[in-house]
Amino acid sequence: MAKKSRRRKNKEGLSPIVTTVLLVALTVVITSVIFLWFRGMVQEGVTKFNPPKNIALVCDDVHFDATYNSGVFNVVNSANVPIYSLSLKLTAADGSYQTKEITNFSIGNTWPSTGLGSGGTFSGAIGSSELGNAKTITVSPILIGTSGSGKKTFLCEGGSYVQEITL
């Protein structure tokens, strides 16, 4: 029995140049995706004071007293760290919540544009219409520091510096 050899006509593969270009392009795309993924996971360092100190560590030095009584919201900064702003998390009885910065309330006195310095006090009226059906207010300080791209705010969350006010 004789074996028949078949040859296909016009069968062409990719040229080595096209293959090389495709491999280089694929490598560049994969490297870019990995770089952007890692870049999104790493936060830019924000510092405060001189010598520079990581702003997350400065949160431990923040001490303030916040109260709400008869429609009046009071804050006293009892530390050497200026508080740039406050974040108020308004939580309802059903567990739903909304977060607002203190500057978003139509308070009688406006929050100082440079923040609340050491020993500073703030008092302002917050109406029940702005609080809605909130049962608690969680008050978190916002600090401002410097980074490579200029000034940045930093929200101090989840430590002893956060206060909860029951309405």
Summarize the confidence of residues 81-110 as an average pLDDT: 83
Q: Which CATH class is domain 47-166?
A: mainly beta
- For the chain, the average pLDDT equals 82
pLDDT for the residue 18:
87
CB 128 within 8 A of CB 71: yes
Summarize the confidence of residues 59-85 as an average pLDDT: 89
Q: Inform me whether the pLDDT recorded for 61 exceeds 70.
A: yes
CB 52 within 8 A of CB 94: no
Please state the φ and ψ torsions of residue 80, each to the nearest 5 degrees. -90, 5
CA torsion angle for 39, 85, 96, 66 (degrees, to 10)? 140
Q: Inform me whether the pLDDT recorded for 66 exceeds 60.
A: yes
pLDDT for the residue 10:
60
Confidence band of 60 (pLDDT split at 50, 70, 90): confident
Q: Inform me whether the pLDDT recorded for 154 exceeds 60.
A: yes
Report the distance separating Cα 66 and Cα 139, nearest Å.
8
Report the distance separating Cα 144 and Cα 101, nearest Å.
14
Confidence band of 77 (pLDDT split at 50, 70, 90): very high
Report the distance separating Cα 14 and Cα 38, nearest Å.
34
Per-residue pLDDT tens digits for 103-126: 767 665 678 888 888 888 888 888
Q: Inform me whether the pLDDT recorded for 5 exceeds 60.
A: no
- % the chain with pLDDT above 70: 82
Kindly write down the DSSP assignment for every residue of the chain, as one continuous string: -PPP----TT-----HHHHHHHHHHHHHHHHHHHHHHHHHHSPPP-EETTTTEEHHHHGGG--EEEEEETTEEEEEE-SSS-B-EEEEEEEETTS-EEEEEGGGS--SSPPPTT-B-TT-EEEEE--HHHHTTEEEEEEEEEEEEEETTEEEEEE--SSTT-EEEE-
pLDDT for the residue 161:
82
Q: Which residue would you say has higher pLDDT here, 36 or 52?
A: 36
